[in-house]
Amino acid sequence: MSRQSSQKRPWLAAGLTLLVVGLGQFYLRRWLRALGWVSLAVVTTLVFVPQSVLTDPAAASFWDGAPLAFVGLLSVFDAYVLATQHNVRLESQNPETPRCPACHRELEANLTFCQWCANELPEGEAANFATTDETDGDS
């Protein structure tokens, strides 16, 4: 289980994995899972992809490389789901912590904008956070 405290971007994880199988899992610091996806891609290439596709990819048909593409797409889906689950787990650990509606990072007290992404916060949300912070300090 991951013990990171920062949010992860699911689309970044998926995009990295689309470039190189397992790279999104590395971004999420899931080392063994990334190694597993890379190993699966290598085994799939050795077992199911004809040697002619590796020597001359331009002359190959779509179906010759389909097993490797399938493994790659599964890896992309896995990276996206892992990042999403990581973010949900972080939010459930401390639901009272106010977060920016745009970037989902923690907000500081008495600000009318997010210090991370400069997104302007709704007035009610900023005011609620400021009053709860002030009342906590008085007790």
47 and 88 together in one domain: yes
At 95, which amino acid appears?
A: P
75 with 133, same domain: the answer is no
Element of type H or E holding 26: helix 23-27
Q: Is the pTM of this model over 0.85?
A: no
pLDDT score, position 2? 42
Res. 56 pLDDT band, cuts 50 70 90: confident
Return the half-sphere exposure (C-beta side, CA atoms, 13 A cut-off) of residue 131: 6
pLDDT class of 75 with cuts at 50, 70, 90: very high
Clarify whether residues 57 and 116 are in a common domain.
Answer: no
Kindly state the average pLDDT of the residues 71-75: 97
Residue 52 shares a structural domain with residue 102: no
Q: Which of 96, 133, 100, 131 is nearest to 118 (CA)?
A: 100
Same domain, 136 and 121: yes
Could you give the 3-state DSSP secondary structure of residue 113?
Answer: strand
Q: How far apart are CA 59 and CA 62, in angstroms?
A: 10
Co-location of 101 and 88 in the same domain: no
Q: Do residue 101 and residue 129 come from a single domain?
A: yes
Question: Which structural domain range is residue 129 located in?
Answer: 97-139
* Structural domains in the chain (count): 2
27 shares a domain with 90: yes
Q: CA distances (Å), 36 to each of 9, 23, 33, 39, 52, in order?
A: 21, 11, 5, 5, 25
- Which of these, 126, 83, 134, 124, lies nearest to 107 by C-alpha position? 126
- Same domain assignment for residues 32 and 69: yes
Q: In terms of domains, do 42 and 103 share one?
A: no
